[in-house]
Amino acid sequence: MSIKPIDFQMVIPKTSEVSKIYNDDVNKNQAIQQQQQTASQTKIDNNLKQVVNRENVQNGRVKEKQEKDNSRQNEKKKKRQNKDDDRPTIDIRV
């Protein structure tokens, strides 16, 4: 397709409009990307400054204490069973 001189008169002024639209689109995309990056960086900074939740640490301590108590109770049960087993039995036949 060849461009005639008359077409140049219409095309040349439109090139500046097209380039402006293209530049606006590129700038808009860059601005959106920069905003997203800034938002994610502030979120990361807030997470770093925030105090870490201590529930897990406290639950761990409680679990350790419960395990110790359970092991002590199991030992006591075993001792009781051993004492019961050591008692002499008397068989009486009539």
DSSP state of 87: S
Residues 6+ apart with CB under 8 A from 11: 3
Q: How far apart are CA 23 and CA 30, in angstroms?
A: 11
Tens digits of residue pLDDT in 25-77:
999 999 999 999 999 999 999 888 887 666 655 555 667 777 888 888 888 88
pTM over 0.85: no
Tens digits of residue pLDDT in 65-78:
778 888 888 888 88
